[in-house]
Structure 1
Amino acid sequence: MTLKGNTDLPQSSGSSIMKTKELTKQVRDKAVEKYEAGLGYKKISRALNISLSTIKSIIRKWKEYGTTANLPRGGRPPKLKSRTRRK
C-alpha cells in the first residue's frame, strides 16, 4: 500500500488498519500553540498534516489535564520485572 504525499508514515502490508507511532511532544505542543493563536481544528490539521480527530484529541487532553505529555495507560502489569528481562 502506498500513500500519497507523506512518505514517513509506516506502510501496511495486507492489512487496512495501520498502527503508527505516537506524535512527539514538540508536534503536540505546536498544535496547542496554533490553537491558542486562534486557529481552528481544520486549519491546524492541514498545517501539521495530522488527522482532524488527532488534533481534537490533543486539544481535549490539553484542556482537561493541562499537558501534552503522554499519559500512562491502563493494562496488565508485566509478569517480569525490567531487571529480570535484561538477564
Structure 2
Amino acid sequence: MGHCQELSEFKRGTMISCHLCNKSISEISLLLNIPQSAVSGIITKWKQLGAIATHPQSGRPRKMTERVRAC
C-alpha cells in the first residue's frame, strides 16, 4: 500500500463547497475522482477545526520504511 499525495487546497475547498451544496460524500468522490475515505476525512476535519489548511507533521519523517527494514 503506497503513500498518497497530499491534496491541494483548491481540491479541499472544492470538496467543502460541494458539501455545503448538499452533495453526498459518494457524489463528491465521483465528481473529483478522490476516494470516499479521503473526502469524509477532510469534511470531518473541516467540521471540527473550521479550516482546510494542512498542519506541519510532528517529528522527522522516517528514512527507511518498515518493508525495507524487513528485508
RMSD between aligned alpha carbons? 1.0
1:71 correspondence with 2:55: yes
- How much does 1:23 deviate? 0.3
Query: Quick one: higher RCO (CA 8 Å, sep 6+), 1 or 2?
Result: 2
The secondary structure found in structure 2 opposite 1:21 is coil
Query: 1:26 is matched with which residue?
Result: 10
- Equivalences, count: 60
TM (norm. structure 1) is 0.65
Structure 1 unpaired stretches of 5+: 1-16, 77-87
- When structure 1 is superposed on structure 2, of 39-48 and 66-75 the one drifting more is 66-75
Counterpart AA for 1:21: Q
Matched, 1:57 2:41: yes
Structure showing the higher helix proportion among its residues? 2
Alignment partners' CA distance in 2, 1:41 and 1:63 = 14
TM-score (structure 2 length as normaliser): 0.78
